[in-house]
Structures are given as C-alpha cells and as structure tokens.
Amino acid sequence: MATLFVMQGRDKGKRFDLRGDDITVGRDSSNRIQLNDSEVSRRHAEVRRTPEGIVLADLASSNGTFVNLEKIDQRLLKNGDRVQIGRTLFLFTDADDRSSVNLAHDIDIVGLGNVEGSRILKSVSHESGSQLFAPPDPAESPWLARARSNLQVMYRTALAVSHTLDIDQLLSRILDLIFEWVEADRGCIMLVDHETEELAPTASRNRKGVRVDGKLSISRTILDYVMQHKEGVLTSDARDDQRWNPEGSIVKLGVREAICVPMQGRYGIVGVIYIDTYTPPGQILQQRAPNKFSEEHLKLMVAIGHQAALAVEDTSYYSAMVQAERLAAMGQTIATLSHHIKNILQGIRGGSYLIEEGLKEEDNEVVRRGWRIVDKNQERISNLVMDMLTFSKDREPELVPADLNETLADVVELMQARAVEAQVQLVFQRRDDLPQFQFDPDLLHKVVLNVVTNAMNACEKREAARVEVSVEYEPGERFVHIVVADNGEGIAAEDLTRIFSVFESKKGSRGTGLGLPVSQKIMREHGGDIRVESTPAVGSRFYLELPTGVSAAVNQTLLP
C-alpha cells in the first residue's frame, strides 16, 4: 500500500494511507490529508491514482509543491521520493511499486563447481580489513600518512554513527571523536529546531584540563555564515581574518581559531558542528601561538558533519516511526478497551432498567432478571480489569507445592452449572497417581478457567457438545500437560497463530481478547506455555504445559 510519512513538520510521525482516489492535501478540514502547517494552502495538492501509478499534482498553491527538491506541477511518485509541501516533508513509500523487480529471476546462487575456473585466491577477515585504518607508520610519506589518518577518522566516524539510535549519544560520540583527533578547546553541536527553525545547542564538551571561563558563547556571525552559505569555515586567526569585522562577535568572544561546518543531510541542513580554541579575551591580543586548525581539518570536519547529519536524519526518522507505531498501538488499545467497557456499561444499563421496570410494576421476576444481568456485567468488568493488570505487569508466580487435581476439580465444579445451562457435557478425568507440583494455584485456576470457558463457548449449541479436562503426565518428564479438549467449531489454521495476540477475539461482544494472551503469559511466567491443536468443525485441544522439574525436591508422595 502507498503511504506518505511525515518526516519533518508539525505533523511529524503521522502516516497517511493513500487508499482510494483523488486525495487532496491542504490546510483545511475538507482535505483527506490535513496539515497543521501555515505555509500550506487551503487546498494545496492532490494525490491521484492513475494506471501508471500514484501521481502528485500541485493545485496552484501559493508556495508550490516539491518532489526531491524540484518544484512540480504534476509528477509520478516513486518509492523513496521526498515530497515537500510548505514546511512539511513527506517520505513516499509504495509497497506495490512496479519499479521494484524480482531479482530472483536474474540472480542464481550456484555451487562453486558450476562456475568454470572460480577459486578463492585470498580471504581477509574483518580484523585484517580494519588494519587499513591503523595509525600511520612514521616511515611512510607524509602525504600517505595524512591520507591514512583521515581515512581512519572517517572509518571511526562511520562506526560511531552506525551504533546508536539515540541522538544525544550519537552527538556526544561525534564530539569525542573530534576531540581525539584535533586539538580543540571547546566544541558544540547545534541542531535545527523544526518548530522555530533556530539552532539549538544539543551537545557540547571542553578539552580536559583546559580552563574555560563561563559558558560557551558561539558567534552568531559564524553560524549565520555557515547556514546561509552551506559551507564550512575555518578562522585561522579571528583578528586577521578579513571576513570578520574586528568589532564582530568572534573577536570579542576570545575565539582565536574556530571551525564551524554545516551538518548537511539528504533533505537539508540539520545543524552545525562548531569547535574552537580559546584564549581569555584579555589575553587575545597579546598571545601568539602556532595554529592548531588547518584546511585539512576543515575538509574532514565537513565530511564528518555530513556523516553525522545522515545519522541524525536516520535516527530522527526511526524515532518518528517508532513514536507513530506506539501512538497507533495505544490508540488501538484505547479503542478496543473503550468498546468492551461500552458493551459492559450497556449491559449494566439494561439490567438496571429491568430492575426499575420490575420495581415499578412490582414484578419480582423482572427484578431478578435485571439483577442477574447487572451481576454478570459487574463480573465482566472485574475480570477485564484483572486481566489488564495481569497483562500489563511482569510478576513472579507464588510457587507452592500444590495438588493439580484439586485446582482442576475446582474449575470444573465452578463451571458445571453453566455447562448444564449451555447443554455442554463437562468432564474431568482425574489422575490419582499425580505427585504435587510447584505452581501458583490461583493463577493456574484462572488459566484453566479461561481455557475451559473458551472451550464451552466453542461447542455450545453443537450436538453432543463435550469438554474434557485431563492430565498427561509421565514420571521423569519435564512437563505435565493439562489438556482441555472440546468437540466445538475448531480454529482455522490461519487463526491459530493469532489467538494468543492481545485483543484478538472471535467471541464478538462476549470476548475481550485478553483471556488467552493473559493465560499464555501466566503459563510462561511458570516456565511453561500453551499449545493448541485444532481441526475446524471437529474440535480443539489446548495443552497447558507446566514444568515438573522444580517438583523433584518436593514431596513426591502419591496423593491418596
């Protein structure tokens, strides 16, 4: 499916599905894609579905529509295109893009023997490959030594930026690397704030042992120059550099030398990296010291700035995606829970209404019916809350040596009345040769109750409906299995993997979609699991696996 994902702008993180025909993009609410961006026209552009693919057309907007930085009237979009509308930058993706070809037809992996004359001449490990970037040999020519040193810096920069998805950590690593390589006294990375479009300091550091008075003040003159010209600058000595007015901020701030480079990304400048050497303002005119920064440093800093910018863009794109997924999941969770609560509330209102009617007409039978409905829904909301709590928290089950037969018999006894009402034969095959096992009886009771309830729902209204609870156990085995078998409607193969996913329910308004996920979680907290075998129209068998290993040390006495 084709989507537009907002990478920059106030709607950052939103994803718009391009389903249907002729989707307009604009500022007012009549647009399918409404943008919170004052530089977007009321009806700015239109996404059209054509036989060739998805076309973006500008609707005579005031500020224009851009694809990959080029102003367009109309353009067929390709996977990965960047669409700029006002201050909002989108990434276009299309899973069905026809330009993606299946390379499996063009590329074959064959045995070595099939290719005439192919043989391995030399192999190089990762470690040997990295030696290319080892510190230069003093005997090498200065040019080669410098080239190798630069290559090493870039290699280490590439490694540094590839290892993190945390922007603060990433920028701090970049500064560490720069300080290892050049004798700067102070350094700072500033990123462009997308709301204000102003540079905001994001990371800074000073050279160890260098005393810097007060806070780091960065010259607006330098920053403006770098941002406007999109060029890195080196000031070899601020007092002598013709570009800077002697009365300007550089000289006044005590900056002797500085390098400032843009962080040029794919979609624009994301920030700047700034380093300088510092002399207290009172001494700047007296002191003359050899320069620490060279043109070579500037070139390499520009390259580092570019690498860092690409990493910042990727990280911020990834963070926006994660955030969008989180919000979507949270929205889905809230919507599902609200739906369940609404149904329960509806049940309570219905029951209360019957009670009221019964009291008005002095009819106890109606009052009783109403109360039964209220009571049932009270139980449903209590179960929902308990399931939510169990699902949301990790907790250790309180393992005690316990009698499995007793727990299972309790569940069957509890459900017997409902089974009779639903015309389901509920049977427990007791095993009298079971030792005690270590489990949390309350939690296991909850799991078995969940699974038995599901089994009864699955075979309710079927002929000769039957649910059987039994135990499979062999001494010496790692697990004891509680088996809940029904001859109900069964589960389709494609649904078997989904039934343990949260909020997946096939019981309509009766199910919350929490029962099986919660049961599976409880069994896993016990070190076991739940498995299911099912044949549609024949029935299902749920196996609740409980570890027996911990029971070795406890009482192995057979129960009477």
Residues that bind another protein (CB under 8 A): 342-343, 345-347, 349-351, 353-354, 357, 361, 366, 369-370, 373, 376-377, 508-509
For residue 49, the number of C-alpha atoms closer than 13 Å in the C-beta half-sphere is: 13
What is the spatial distance between Cα 255 and Cα 70, in angstroms, rounded to a whole number? 40
> What are the strands of the beta sheet with 15-17, ordered from one edge?
15-17, 2-8, 88-94, 82-85, 65-67, 70-72
Strand partners, 50: 53
Contacts of 132 (CB under 8 A, 6+ apart): 148, 151
3-state DSSP call for residue 401? strand
Strand-strand pairing, 33-34 and 23-26? parallel
Cα-to-chain-centroid distance, residue 118:
44
How would DSSP label each residue in 77-133?
--TT-EEEETTEEEEEEETT-TT---GGGT-----GGGSTT--------HHHHHGGG
Is the sign of the CA dihedral 345, 346, 350, 353 positive or negative?
Answer: positive
What is the spatial distance between Cα 430 and Cα 405, in angstroms, rounded to a whole number? 6
Q: How many CB atoms lie within 10 A of CB 276?
A: 27
Q: Are 56 and 74 in contact (CB under 8 A)?
A: yes
Q: Which of 71/461 has CB closer to another protein?
A: 461
Q: Are 149 and 138 in contact (CB under 8 A)?
A: no
Q: Are 498 and 487 in contact (CB under 8 A)?
A: no
What is the spatial distance between Cα 233 and Cα 272, in angstroms, rounded to a whole number? 11
Alpha helices in 361-395 (DSSP H): 364-392
Q: Are 546 and 444 in contact (CB under 8 A)?
A: yes
3-state helix, strand, coil in the chain (%, to 5): 40, 25, 40
Q: Are 423 and 465 in contact (CB under 8 A)?
A: yes
Kindly provide the b/e burial profile for residues 188-207, where b requires at least 16 CB atoms within 10 angstroms of the residue's own CB.
Answer: bbbbbebeeeebeebbbbbb
Contacts of 514 (CB under 8 A, 6+ apart): 384, 387, 388, 391, 502, 503
What is the spatial distance between Cα 276 and Cα 251, in angstroms, rounded to a whole number? 12
End-to-end Cα spacing for the chain: 63
